[in-house]
Amino acid sequence: MLQPGFFDLKDRYNKLNERDPLVSLNALIDWENFRATLNEVRQNPRKSQAGRKPFDVVLMFKVLVLQHLYNLSDDETEYQIRDRYSFCRFLNLTPEDRIPDAKTIWLYREQLVLRDLMKGLFNDFDDQLNDKGYKAQKGQMVDASFVDVPKQRNKREENQQIKSGEIPERFENNPNVGRQKDTDARWTKKNEETHFGYKNHVTVDNAHKLIRDYKVTSAEVHDSQVFIEILAENTSADVWADSAYQSENNEISLAAMNMRSHVHKKGKKNKPLSERSKKANTRRSKVRARVEHVFGSITNEQGGLYSRVIGFARNQLKIGMMNIVYNMRRFMTLSRKSVPAI
């Protein structure tokens, strides 16, 4: 049986170039820029030089990017790297190279969780975006979206204990049960819809529709509670948000920060909005609605605002990866638009 030669592989890669978005992703992003932050997972020196060397930290980070681009589990990621030439090339691996298995991927992600590195990696990429000419401009839009997790089937008294910050006795006495219970996620209700999980609070710049900062909370935290905290640097002082963010304290805080509020007004029980306020809200909506495109893109292109991992720390990483991968995809789109026609 004939073995594939170098030129056979090169010819196959050339054919892939026509439709493979990973080629652009590899070319546009400076992956080495993440190394300083990622090296923290290798802080503890190896006890022995025996055995296989660990995989490169940047390669493993790119594996996580692939997972979130294509909404893959650890086992499916291992299989797809073995199966796809495009994945191997993105990771700079040949079909003969050793590849990370599902357990290795899980352990690497746990190291990122343990050292709380996700926000640092997000900021590393934001610095890249600024250096490439995509500074935050024309104001910012703030919004939040639920990230649902598998619903828990607990007893009523157990839910009450979890809500008060206690761990139910059944979870502690049976580790197999406890490991499957997310005691950090919370229930909440909005517009007759019930959600269980977390919230992804983001601020998006109006010029490029890139996420500039974010914060993860449990689902019951009201949008307005982290409004001021996630506001990012921008060349414009304009801030857009829906009526959930409307409060006297937020307006005072925005004024103190020399920011211009375009937060939607909301009527009160005995004081409905005037026609002038309604028209002003309509004008604000034309800008503010752009932030919905971000969550729509994550839902449609990255598998949705849903998570199967358990616990706040792991979901903080999961949601952070959703956000950084969205920015990478958006960066590719912006780069294509900025290329002059020949």
Domain boundaries, the chain: 6-43+53-115, 135-149+188-319, 157-184
d(CA 285, CA 274) in angstroms, rounded, equals 17
- Strand 211-218 with 193-205, pairing: antiparallel
Residue 148 near residue 195 (C-beta atoms within 8 A): yes
Q: In tens digits, what is the pLDDT along the chain, a chain of 342 residues?
A: 455 555 566 676 666 666 788 999 999 999 999 999 999 998 766 655 656 789 999 999 999 999 999 999 999 999 999 999 889 999 999 878 999 999 999 999 999 999 999 999 999 999 999 999 999 999 999 999 999 999 888 888 888 888 888 888 888 878 888 888 899 999 999 888 999 999 999 999 999 999 999 999 999 999 999 999 999 999 999 999 999 999 999 999 999 999 999 999 988 777 788 888 889 889 999 999 899 999 999 998 888 889 999 999 999 999 999 999 999 999 999 998 775 444
DSSP characters for 225-256? GGTTTT----SS-EEEE-GGG--HHHHHHHHH
d(CA 109, CA 113) in angstroms, rounded, equals 6
Taking only Cα atoms into account, the Rg of the chain, rounded to an integer number of angstroms, comes to 23
- If one counts every other C-beta atom within 10 angstroms of the C-beta of residue 182, the result is 22
**∠ CA 23-24-30 to the nearest 5 degrees?**
100
Model-wide pTM > 0.85: yes
User: Residue 235: CB partners within 8 Å, gap ≥ 6?
Assistant: 135, 136, 137, 138
8-state DSSP, 22: H
AA letter at 25: L
| CATH number corresponding to 135-149+188-319 | 3.30.420
